[in-house]
């Protein structure tokens, strides 16, 4: 039971760190925190649009998705995979530091497939603007895989059942 309590505390700490990122003054390392160039003000863009979200996945994994809007010239100049990896690295760094300030404990997030590029999806808004979504999956430290947890639970039931059978002298 205490293992389930520890996992719940870890997940609640991550959720709180994510909620804290929605504060106006949170410095994560995203484009929206930078000043807007003069040429984009003439296009009526007052700030950059970018954000991120997290998702708890099976197996003790955390999905981090970065979203941003780009204009066409910028889109074609960028190395998308590297750009997404850099921003997600900043997001993970922020989540770890915010988790530590919330819980007082350290958070371990390791990429599930470090050699793979992030999953990238692009949606066109118009001929000049598009939305980019990039996603990486991380293993949350100290959160067991569901299969390991289920087998431990079954083993616990089996041991309890055998002890009860011995106590009743049926075995």
Give 136's pLDDT tier (boundaries 50, 70, 90): very high
Instruction: Give the pLDDT confidence score for residue 31 in this predicted structure.
Output: 58
Q: What is the pLDDT of residue 64?
A: 95
Question: What pLDDT sits at residue 137?
Answer: 95
Mean pLDDT, the chain, as a whole number? 81
- Give the model's pLDDT for residue 38: 55
Percent of the chain at pLDDT above 70?
76
91: left (phi over 0), alpha (psi -120 to 50) or beta: alpha
Q: Give the model confidence (pLDDT) of 35-89 as tens digits.
A: 555 555 455 454 567 888 999 998 889 999 999 888 888 888 889 899 899 989 9
Between the alpha carbon of residue 74 and those of residues 32, 141, 155, the distances in Å are 16, 36, 56
Question: Taking the domains of the chain in order of start, what are their residue ranges?
Answer: 2-143
Q: What is the 3-state secondary structure (H, E, C) of the chain?
A: CHHHHHHHHHHHHHHHHHHHHCCCCCCCCCHHHCCCCHHHHCCCCCCCCEEEEEEEECCCEEEEEEEEEEEHHHHHHCCHHHHHHHHHHHHHHHHHHHHHHHHCCCCCEEECCCCCCCEEEEEECCCCEEEEEEEEEEEECCCCCHHHHHHHHHHHHHHHHHHHHHHCCCC
What average pLDDT does range 101-120 have in this prediction? 92
Q: What pLDDT, on the 0 to 100 scale, is given for residue 133? A: 94
Rounded CA-CA distance 88/118 in Å is: 10
User: What tokens appear for 152 in the block?
Assistant: 């431990």
Q: Is 0.85 topped by the overall pTM? A: no
């Amino acid at each position: 039971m205490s293992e389930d309590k520890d996992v719940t505390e870890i997940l609640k700490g991550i959720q709180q760190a994510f909620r804290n990122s929605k504060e106006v003054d949170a410095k994560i390392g995203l484009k929206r925190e930078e000043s807007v160039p003069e040429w984009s003000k003439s296009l009526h863009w007052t700030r950059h649009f970018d954000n991120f979200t997290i998702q708890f996945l099976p197996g003790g994994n955390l999905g981090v998705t970065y979203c941003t809007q780009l204009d066409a010239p910028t889109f074609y100049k960028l190395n998308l995979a590297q750009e997404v990896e850099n921003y997600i690295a900043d997001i993970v760094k922020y989540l770890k530091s915010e988790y530590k300030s919330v819980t007082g404990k350290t958070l371990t997030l390791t990429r599930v497939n470090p050699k793979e590029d992030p999953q990238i999806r692009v949606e066109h808004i118009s001929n000049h603007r598009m939305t980019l979504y990039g996603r990486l999956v991380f293993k949350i430290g100290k959160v067991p895989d569901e299969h390991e947890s289920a087998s431990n639970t079954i083993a616990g039931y089996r041991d309890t059942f055998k002890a009860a059978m011995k106590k009743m002298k049926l075995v």
